[in-house]
Amino acid sequence: MDAPFDIVRASHIEYVVTDIDEARRYYSATLGMVETASEGSRVYLRGIEDRTHHSLVLTEGRRPGLSHMAFRLRSELDMKKAERFLEAEGIRHSLAEGEEKGIGPSLRFQDPSGFPVELFYRTDAVEWELQKYHSHHGGRIMRIDHFNVLVPDVAGTVKWYVEKLHFALSEFTEDDDGSMQAAWLRRKQSSHDIAVMRGHGPRFHHAGFIVSDRDSILDCADILSSSGYFRSIERGPGRHGITNAFFLYLRDSDRHRIELYTGDYMAADPDLQPVRWSVHDPRRQTFWGAPTPESWTNEASDVIPFDFPAHHKD
Amino acid sequence: MDAPFDIVRASHIEYVVTDIDEARRYYSATLGMVETASEGSRVYLRGIEDRTHHSLVLTEGRRPGLSHMAFRLRSELDMKKAERFLEAEGIRHSLAEGEEKGIGPSLRFQDPSGFPVELFYRTDAVEWELQKYHSHHGGRIMRIDHFNVLVPDVAGTVKWYVEKLHFALSEFTEDDDGSMQAAWLRRKQSSHDIAVMRGHGPRFHHAGFIVSDRDSILDCADILSSSGYFRSIERGPGRHGITNAFFLYLRDSDRHRIELYTGDYMAADPDLQPVRWSVHDPRRQTFWGAPTPESWTNEASDVIPFDFPAHHKD
Amino acid sequence: MDAPFDIVRASHIEYVVTDIDEARRYYSATLGMVETASEGSRVYLRGIEDRTHHSLVLTEGRRPGLSHMAFRLRSELDMKKAERFLEAEGIRHSLAEGEEKGIGPSLRFQDPSGFPVELFYRTDAVEWELQKYHSHHGGRIMRIDHFNVLVPDVAGTVKWYVEKLHFALSEFTEDDDGSMQAAWLRRKQSSHDIAVMRGHGPRFHHAGFIVSDRDSILDCADILSSSGYFRSIERGPGRHGITNAFFLYLRDSDRHRIELYTGDYMAADPDLQPVRWSVHDPRRQTFWGAPTPESWTNEASDVIPFDFPAHHKD
Amino acid sequence: MDAPFDIVRASHIEYVVTDIDEARRYYSATLGMVETASEGSRVYLRGIEDRTHHSLVLTEGRRPGLSHMAFRLRSELDMKKAERFLEAEGIRHSLAEGEEKGIGPSLRFQDPSGFPVELFYRTDAVEWELQKYHSHHGGRIMRIDHFNVLVPDVAGTVKWYVEKLHFALSEFTEDDDGSMQAAWLRRKQSSHDIAVMRGHGPRFHHAGFIVSDRDSILDCADILSSSGYFRSIERGPGRHGITNAFFLYLRDSDRHRIELYTGDYMAADPDLQPVRWSVHDPRRQTFWGAPTPESWTNEASDVIPFDFPAHHKD
């Protein structure tokens, strides 16, 4: 059975931050993301490898939060199919155009777990920074990779993304009673586009950004520490058993979290079996054993629900 | 327009070698590929990350050559569609089953440029070596990535793969007169599954295998030199401008070539524009300028055409 | 003023272990040290880069402990001078010959802080493994670098090593009241040959072994975890502010600790100023902020005093 | 027998360049050396790890050349001893003070092979950039390591440095007739402070600068290529068999050469045996086999003899 519409991949997020200058200093000057555009108190950033207009939008506001996470669709036709799907499912949504620079029309809705999701298919062309090595700096962030969210009912959220949106299950953790505690789901050909972990929710745990290699992550930790961002390093560097990726978790001044991430696997084949981890295996989280800090387990960004106009299309 | 059948990716090759023991020593003991199975004078190898039965088959024979290159299809239905496609195109082919361990039925044909191509969709499950770090050694080869072939008429071969099989063009080189000199074509979400270069052909230039990072390539060069395989290092290490990958080219004792390869880009988005390189830009081949050895430019493996039985299905 | 005798560098230690087969499996098969010789329940190991007979001696015994730490002297004349020095200082000592394979005569004494110290100047020649890359494995340990010891009175121990043995002070930590809490002292041209930290003592905290680069440390952590030594990883990987080195701390099955260590600085110049760190600067220990585990702070190996014969030379 | 005076290490060079702005752009903005001071058309640079005032002096002049190479002495007393040594040897010399910023008095002379050598013992303190990671960029050059010179009579030059100045022989190449073709000589505890190669001379082949690791060299090659300095990459990256170091050779716009260099060994022990290489072993130069470009073999910087005043002290 075909998917109701074709999601290509996790494509960008928008974080509301309380100090846009500080956020810009952190993500652009320090971590090395590239500024594509800005307007008022909103900045559009992309990674060195991104060929889309942005993978991170920072918008100044009074309360920090995730204002949306966006998946890119394959084509205009998929937008139409997505709209029909949302109508058929009875999910409130709106069609926005021009609210966000650099992309075409976008469909916005709250998913059944409460996350503000945006779908779009068109993006403005931007210069490719990949081989402008002399301009790379800081964390040398290459591209966005995945979203990680917290929900009370992991199995329920996973079921929706797998059965309705045709995500594939790459890995999962399970308690002794067979209950799913966390899951890594993919559309593109890597371990995941979205991970779902059990916790108070809906909250947004982090966005993962790819870097080239482990040394880029180690260099970034050095740079953060030496440039006054010692406290922004929350966890790592280390290797995850799950996904096999090498990681570093960072918190910005509004406590939004991102992960620098490298070294997971290609997942192109259609018959890959999901990898099961017991929640009692400590190597699932940290292959080398360093304890997970409490803040990582307990803290996450609030999500800001879309505020649909009274007479919007739903 | 949809593809006539869905090719997932470049999946394996078979090299005919003149000394199976030596070939095994090179690819398995020295370069670190994992032996899945063997029968008589044939050995099936895979990379650390491969979850398919094999990505390299070595078969002893009197004359070295490429006996086939295989693409994996998405499903059984795609096999049927492929068969219909070959019939419609008037391309001789045969349906094999059981000739190659570890995979289901396969369709074999010569493509219009003369390369022996195998299509299959099913593979036996194998253990995943990815996190058995203590057993990784030598080149720590992760998985197969691409094929690279030589043909006299690049534009013609590219046209067939793009128009008929719906490969996407990632990068290409062009002479001043606008003639295409080489092209990198993808099905999976990386820079390429097959590259086509201008030369006396049909000949098979190399198969590319992914390693985790640049250090794995440097370590492999050290290991080859210290273990008596100094002469097997043909070119590199270096960076290609095209694909942005870090590379090392090796020759086995039959002069078959493989590339160790790391660091190209994700190519998931549907609207990526092909990257054009002038043949006059020396950075296209070697971003740092080291000259390409003549052997790399001139030498390649012969291809061994399928020998279809008189009464085979065609 | 010249030193009373010329110490070249920290050269080896001897650990008493309770299971020599397990210790051998850990240090040699897993961590990749090279076995030079063995006799009965004693094994002599060296690193890939060591050109001395051994940098680690493992001896089976009932109670684990450090049986000595050895400094190499420049010449036979320095041995004589050292003997005169010990006599002049009224320090009990003995001259041993033939008790330890691979080295010439050795002087043994307890230093004023209670550590069993061995001095020697001659070593048997061994093969250099440095460029036998195909035999390197596991932690790819290159050579011994330093000792780290715990004493209640840091300033006192430092004073003796600096004033009597002419070690140079590279770095130190200081409390608000100006009391020295830890110190890094060198003879050879790197940050230190011996570090002295405040704690219950005399106890031996760890021996530091050099590896080539950060990737060797990351690879080693992977190998330990995948080969059943997950629990032997105690702390790291991370960067020390002090010495600037990248580190990983390991515990063997007797809880002896070693550090894999890379990337400190050259200290050849005679006028280098000691680097001062406040004990309130968290970056001194871990430049990136990961907390130090309690075991690292509190646990260390007992030292086994030399048992001088009744009629020995003193 | 003690040395007549104590040379600590190779400490700096001065290159005469024809365009000081371009040279500054290359060594400082692009390669990441730190500018300590400048005066008129002279710039003083140091590496990230250097705690001396400078390791490279660039001075604008009409004809490019090496104006001197400097060794640091241990103490003021060693300066006096050096002066007496030069007098005893009948070598013309002068005592300079204030001609070069940041160092104390210096002794200048032509060595018997014709190289302009400077000796000094005192340097101004500078800030240590080692842990200012956010300011590191480009080649992230850490410190100077060695000089490499060309002479017609290798054995003669080696004899003088070894017998008169007590350099130790680390490695050498030899022809079938037992004649020495090149030699690596050390004072500090690494493979060499000066290398002597056979060729038309006296000419200065290159100065070697240490970087932290292989990735720094690969990153530097990328940065040079992308920032318009593609042509400045002459040879590498690769590994030398001799010294075991990983290298990259660069040429500035006056064709002066420097080597980025990492990973040689500690040479502290007094009894290290020199490593002999046959000139017929291709791995001595390039462990992985890439051919050495002709320019590397044939081209070098002219040396500019000191122009001693008529009535100077000699």
**Residue C182 is part of a domain; what is its CATH number?**
3.10.180.10
pLDDT tens digits, one per residue of A267-308: 999 999 999 999 999 999 999 999 999 999 999 999 999 987
Distance from CA of C279 to the nearest CA of B (A): 36
Q: What band does D309 get if pLDDT is binned at 50, 70 and 90?
A: low
Residue % of chain C over a pLDDT of 90: 96
Residue with structure tokens 């050909």? A189
Q: Are residues D44 and D153 in the same domain?
A: no
For chain D, the residues whose C-beta falls within 8 A of a C-beta of chain A are 30, 131-134, 137-138, 213, 215, 219, 222-223, 225-227
C-alpha B161/C-alpha B173 separation (Å) is 17
Q: What pLDDT is attached to residue A142?
A: 98
Residues 6+ apart with CB under 8 A from A212: A140, A142, A262, B263
Q: Residues of A with CB below 8 A from C290's CB?
A: 235-236, 290
Q: Is the pLDDT of residue C314 over 80?
A: no
Q: Is the pLDDT of residue A118 over 50?
A: yes
Average pLDDT of chain C to the nearest whole number: 96
Can you give the residue range of the structural domain that contains C178? 140-302
Top residue of A231, A247, A288 to mutate, by most chain C CBs within 10 Å, is A288
pLDDT tens digits, one per residue of C76-109: 999 999 999 999 999 999 999 999 999 999 999 9
Rounded mean pLDDT, D26-41: 97
Q: Are residues D177 and D215 in the same domain?
A: yes
Q: Are residues D148 and D75 in the same domain?
A: no
Q: Are residues B295 and B193 in the same domain?
A: yes
pLDDT tens digits, one per residue of A222-277: 999 999 999 999 999 999 999 999 999 999 999 999 999 999 999 999 999 999 99
**Which residue of chain C is at minimal alpha-carbon distance from A246?**
C218
Of A59, A91, A120, the last residue of a domain is: A120
Distance from CA of B63 to the nearest CA of C (A): 30
Considering the domain boundaries, does residue D125 fall inside one? no
Q: Do C227 and B30 touch (CB under 8 A)?
A: no
Give C123's Cβ-side CA count (13 Å radius): 27
Q: Do B222 and D287 touch (CB under 8 A)?
A: yes
Q: What pLDDT is attached to residue A33?
A: 98
Considering the domain boundaries, does residue C130 fall inside one? no
Contact between residue A73 and residue A161 where contact means Cβ atoms under 8 Å apart: no
**Which residue of chain D is at minimal alpha-carbon distance from A224?**
D134
Considering the domain boundaries, does residue C246 fall inside one? yes
Considering the domain boundaries, does residue D313 fall inside one? no
Q: Is the pLDDT of residue C202 over 90?
A: yes
Distance from CA of C307 to the nearest CA of B (A): 41
Q: What pLDDT is attached to residue B309?
A: 64
For residues B250-266, b (16+ Cβ closer than 10 Å) or e, as one string? Answer: bbbbbebbbbbbbbbbb
Considering the domain boundaries, does residue B218 fall inside one? yes
C-alpha A6/C-alpha A72 separation (Å) is 9
What tokens does C295 get? 């075991």
Q: Are residues B153 and B282 in the same domain?
A: yes
Q: Are residues D148 and D81 in the same domain?
A: no
Distance from CA of B233 to the nearest CA of D (A): 7
C-alpha B66/C-alpha D41 separation (Å) is 62
Q: Do C219 and B137 touch (CB under 8 A)?
A: no
Rounded mean pLDDT, D219-227: 98
Rounded mean pLDDT, D284-306: 96
Q: Do A133 and D213 touch (CB under 8 A)?
A: no
Q: Are residues D78 and D185 in the same domain?
A: no
Q: Residues of B with CB below 8 A from A131's CB?
A: 241, 244, 287
Q: What is the DSSP letter of C305?
A: -
Residue % of chain D over a pLDDT of 90: 96
Which candidate, A184, A137, A157, A192, places its Cα nearest to that of A27? A137
Contact between residue D137 and residue A32 where contact means Cβ atoms under 8 Å apart: no
Considering the domain boundaries, does residue B169 fall inside one? yes
For residue B233, give the nearest of D218, D246, D289 by CB distance. Answer: D289
Considering the domain boundaries, does residue C132 fall inside one? no
Q: Are residues D144 and D195 in the same domain?
A: yes
Return the bridge partners of A275, or none.
A171
Backbone angles phi and psi of B181, in degrees to 5: -105, -25
What tokens does B108 get? 């074999």
Distance from CA of C188 to the nearest CA of D (A): 7
Question: Into how many domains does chain C fold?
Answer: 2
Distance from CA of D22 to the nearest CA of A (A): 17
Residue % of chain D over a pLDDT of 70: 98
Q: Do B222 and C137 touch (CB under 8 A)?
A: no
Q: Are residues B293 and B146 in the same domain?
A: yes
For residue A244, give the nearest of B130, B189, B273 by CB distance. Answer: B130
Q: What pLDDT is attached to residue D79?
A: 97
Angle at B4 between CA B3 and CA B6, to 5 degrees: 65
C-alpha C222/C-alpha A263 separation (Å) is 13
Q: Do A134 and D215 touch (CB under 8 A)?
A: no
Q: Is the pLDDT of residue B313 over 80?
A: no
C34-39 and C42-46 beta bridge pairing: antiparallel
Residue with structure tokens 């400094």? C71
Considering the domain boundaries, does residue D231 fall inside one? yes
Q: What pLDDT is attached to residue C307?
A: 85
Of D120, D150, D172, the last residue of a domain is: D120
What tokens does C13 get? 């230690």
Q: What pLDDT is attached to residue D3?
A: 81
Q: Is the pLDDT of residue B157 over 60?
A: yes
Q: What band does D1 get if pLDDT is binned at 50, 70 and 90?
A: low
pLDDT tens digits, one per residue of D176-193: 999 999 999 999 999 999
Contact between residue B144 and residue B10 where contact means Cβ atoms under 8 Å apart: yes
C-alpha C58/C-alpha A98 separation (Å) is 71
Q: What pLDDT is attached to residue B307?
A: 85
pLDDT tens digits, one per residue of B39-82: 999 999 999 999 999 999 999 999 999 999 999 999 999 999 99
Q: What pLDDT is attached to residue B283?
A: 94
Q: What pLDDT is attached to residue A1?
A: 52
Q: Residues of C with CB below 8 A from A282's CB?
A: 230
Return the bridge partners of A96, or none.
A106
For residue C290, give the nearest of A231, A246, A290 by CB distance. Answer: A290
Rounded mean pLDDT, D10-34: 98
Rounded mean pLDDT, C113-121: 98
β strands within chain A, DSSP E = 7-17, 34-39, 42-46, 56-60, 65-73, 93-96, 106-110, 116-120, 143-151, 168-174, 180-186, 194-198, 203-210, 233-239, 246-251, 257-262, 275-278, 301-302
Q: What pLDDT is attached to residue D66?
A: 98
For residue B215, give the nearest of C131, C215, C226 by CB distance. Answer: C215
pLDDT tens digits, one per residue of B264-300: 999 999 999 999 999 999 999 999 999 999 999 999 9
Q: Are residues A112 and A154 in the same domain?
A: no
Q: Are residues B62 and B182 in the same domain?
A: no
Top residue of C242, C288, C294, C295 to mutate, by most chain A CBs within 10 Å, is C288
Q: What pLDDT is attached to residue C272?
A: 97
Of A66, A85, A120, the last residue of a domain is: A120
Average pLDDT of chain B to the nearest whole number: 96
For residue B265, give the nearest of A49, A125, A273 by CB distance. Answer: A49
Q: Are residues C106 and C13 in the same domain?
A: yes
Distance from CA of B232 to the nearest CA of D (A): 9
For chain B, the residues whose C-beta falls within 8 A of a C-beta of chain A are 8-9, 49, 51-52, 72, 74-75, 122-123, 125, 128, 130-131, 143, 188-190, 210, 212-214, 241, 244, 263, 265-266, 268-273, 275, 287
Rounded mean pLDDT, C212-238: 97
Find the Cα–Cα–Cα–Cα dihedral D53, D56, D58, D63, rounded to 10°: 140
What tokens does C221 get? 């952590």
Tell me how far the alpha carbon of residue A199 is from its chain's centroid: 17
C-alpha B59/C-alpha B44 separation (Å) is 9
Cis omega (within 30 of 0) on the bond before C237? Answer: yes
C-alpha D261/C-alpha D221 separation (Å) is 13
Q: Is the pLDDT of residue D313 over 70?
A: no
Q: Is the pLDDT of residue C312 over 90?
A: no
